[in-house]
Structures are given as structure tokens and as C-alpha cells.
Structure 1
């Protein structure tokens, strides 16, 4: 439904910057330091297939729109409660629950990485999940075609969504000039121990662990097309340098709708830091 002024109403969405220590990190004492979060960090980027109606060919983080079943109050959950997430994200409780669930669900659908585990018991560590088996693949495909809900998948396996593994990072709203608009909450999450990302196809034709400090140069050279929020977020991750830096970064989640203006005769999107970027082509949106 459009807004009163005729512009498209933004659809709620969630996206996740999936992070891991860079292999062979040498900062602060070698790989051991990297495993503790003191070494260089990598982020997972996906290249969307060119047939997609939204951001075709662009490098993005895993994520997507909220499904109405993501707000299901019965989903098994640990970590901050939906009420606390509502305060952090600036939403009501129902939408906060839906956004957190969508972030975890979409990450699993698009990468095979699941931010969930068995409930932890006193004196025991949660068992590392292996989501590469045929039965897990059936569940993943069932989520994609909506024949299964995320609540059913987790509850049926005795698992809990680990909301404490997510960190709220930012919120971007597509400029009003765009025909397709999203209100997207960005989250950071570290790759769970024992899990690996998979190239599962579908919306992306390539997934790659990437040094975020290299993204800006690749984007400027035209080798990594991406939307302004992705470029800006990678620059923010690069400024943190390490997983520990990401964990300690102070973030205020306030909605930001990029400013669209003409700069030197070209229409540009102006980011929060004042840097301007090319306006996405019609059909694409931050």
C-alpha cells in the first residue's frame, strides 16, 4: 500500500553481516589471537543473480523481507527477549520479534548458517550443528517455499534461536524516489563454531568471504557493484578492524533515509558520513 503522498511504503526487512576471523590472521600474536577476536575480520558477501528484480548483480549481505510468520510468539528463543530487542531496534515487540527471526531465518536460507543451537544446560556446552545433511536441506527448502515455518523447524529439532548471537548495527530506509522501498535493519553476527557457509544457489550466484577494508576500492573500480548501505557498512566494519572491535563498537539504531540530490550534474545518494554514491538503477533499492 502506498503512502499518502503516493510513494511506495517501505517493507520491513533484515540483513546480517556474517563475520569470521580472517584465516591466518597474525595481529596481536597470530591465529590464536584471531580466534579470540583480535585478528583481522572477514564478512560474507553474496552476488545476486542478474534476473532478480531487486539489486540484480549487486553484492549484498544475506537477508530479505519479513514473513508474517516471523512474528510467531511460539518460536523457541534465548538471549535478549523481544521486549528488549524492541527498545534496541525502536519498534514494537511484535515487529522486533519478527525482525530478529527474519534475520536468522534468511541467513539460514541463503547461506546454510543457522544462528541456533540446542538449549545450553549447566556444565554442558551446546552441540555444534551440522546443517549440511539431506534432512536439513529439506527444512531449508521448506522455509524458502514457505511450506514450513521457522518455528516448526526449530521446535521439531529441539533447538532455540540464539538472539544473543546477533548485534543490532543500523537501519536504512530506501529513498522515497525509488519505486521499491525497504526499511532494513542491519545486524552483525559471528559465524557459529563448527559451521561453514555454503553456496546454496537461488538468489545468489556467488558467495565470498571478503576483507571489508578492500570493498571500497573494488566498488570504485566497478568490480563489486553494490548499494550505498552495503558500501557504508563495509567501511564501518573495516574501521573496527577486528571481531573484538565490532563487539565493542557503539551503535545507535536510528532510521536513516539517504538524501537524494544532484551532485556535479549527477543524481547521487548522500550517506550519513556525507559521502555521496550513485543512485541505484530503477528496480534497485538500499
Structure 2
């Protein structure tokens, strides 16, 4: 099933919150990112190269309600997500929603790679919303996470044919050769990481995150991204 736009109205396709994580590790000459090559039968992002992640589920809200996440961390994440839909239910709900997204990021990484991240390793990075006209729509919150010694993700998801570490340069070279496909949010979030230079600089940066609502024509790998620039504060 393709991810190309199909005739639809926004009301026909609900927007689900989701989380996606750029797992990073040091490598010779820079850093590597952990990616998955999705199977061609998926109903969203079929055949695409993606990061570990998935939609927010009810159990993620339960994790927040049970006090499994540090309130101070959730307050900080709510602040960083302030220019996204996280405030749509009001300021009093922002920290809980930030917690649901963080819990989803941890859970999805664990389910797909066997790696349970410390909540503090997950740093807010970007927010992209699938445009109207797609069969599935997601309000996706991207995180970056620098892995520590001994933390090694595995390939253990049936949604992908392979999971692997790769340098951003090699990944984009494969894209240019037409060997792989990457949606625009995947490309842009990784390009933004590359612009920071090193993992240390990526983690130290504080992106001014605003929701990106791309033109539907910009959602596949062959088109340029519009209106998605990100500013970083020292």
C-alpha cells in the first residue's frame, strides 16, 4: 500500500500522536544512526527507511498516571513542545501529554530493539504532522538519544526486514542512488542533526521546536521541504 496522497478530507482520517527516536552512537569520523527498513506490506511508510517508533497507546498514559516518569522531566519536555499540539487540551494537560509521548518513545524502542532507554536520554527534537490526504495521519514527536557504552539495540520487529547502524552520509548517498526511500520528516530530522556536527553538540543544542505541516507534495523523498527550518539556541 502506498503512502502517496489519496482523495480524503481531514475529518475522514484522525490524527494520532506518535513518537520516533533517532538513536545515535559515536563512530569514526562522526556518528551513526540506527534505522529500520520497513517491509513493503505496511499500511504506512511501506518500504521506507525509518527510525524506531510508533503511535501513543493507552498504556503510555497509564505509565504517566502511575508516576513512572520524573515530573521535572515532563515539565521540561512540555516546555520544549510548547509550540506543538501538546497544548491543545490546555496548559494543565501539557505535562501529562508530554509524558505519554515520552513513555511511547521508550516503549516503542524497547519493543522494536530490546533496548530500554533512561527517560533522560530522550531529548525532544522535532514535530511533524502528516498532511491531509494520506491514508494514515500522525502528529509525530521526534527525539534524539545518545547511547551509552553497553547499550546495543537489536533487530526484533516484524515491521522491518532489517535494522542497522549507518552513517548519515552513507544513508543519504543510498537515497541519491535510488537504493532506499525516506520520507521528508526522516530526512529533515537527520539533516538537522548533521548540521550540529557531533553527538555532543546535538544533545547540547536546544531546538526551537514548532509543528511542521508540510505540503502533501513534500512528504515523499523526491520533493523539497518547505517551511521547516529549525532554529537552535546555544
The two structures have a TM-score, normalised by structure 2, of 0.80
1:88 equivalent to 2:80? Answer yes
Matched ranges for 1:141-220 at <5 A = 162-220=118-176
**Structure 2 equivalent of residue 102 of structure 1:** 104
CA RMSD of superposed structures (Å): 2.3
1:60 equivalent to 2:47? Answer no
CA 1:233–1:195 in structure 2 vs 1: closer, same or farther (change >3 Å)? same
**Structure 1 equivalent of residue 179 of structure 2:** 223
The structural deviation recorded for 1:8 is 1.9
Q: Contact (CA 8 Å) 2:69, 2:99: kept in 1 or not?
A: no
Within 1, Cα distance between the matches of 2:165 and 2:56? 25
Within 1, Cα distance between the matches of 2:20 and 2:10? 28
Q: Contact (CA 8 Å) 2:48, 2:181: kept in 1 or not?
A: yes
Q: Contact (CA 8 Å) 2:10, 2:133: kept in 1 or not?
A: no
Within 1, Cα distance between the matches of 2:49 and 2:187? 9
Within 2, Cα distance between the matches of 1:50 and 1:65? 19
Matched ranges for 1:64-83 at <5 A = 64-72=54-62, 73-78=65-70, 80-83=72-75
CA 1:220–1:74 in structure 2 vs 1: closer, same or farther (change >3 Å)? same
The structural deviation recorded for 1:177 is 2.2
Q: Which of these two proteins has the greater Rg computed from alpha carbons?
A: 1
CA 1:50–1:242 in structure 2 vs 1: closer, same or farther (change >3 Å)? same
**Structure 2 equivalent of residue 19 of structure 1:** 24
The structural deviation recorded for 1:194 is 1.3
Number of residues of Structure 1 aligned to a counterpart in Structure 2:
207
**Structure 1 equivalent of residue 34 of structure 2:** 44
Which structure has more helix as a fraction of its residues? 2
Gaps of 5+ in 2: 1-7, 87-93, 230-234
The two structures have a TM-score, normalised by structure 1, of 0.66
Matched ranges for 1:223-262 at <5 A = 223-261=179-217
Within 2, Cα distance between the matches of 1:164 and 1:201? 24
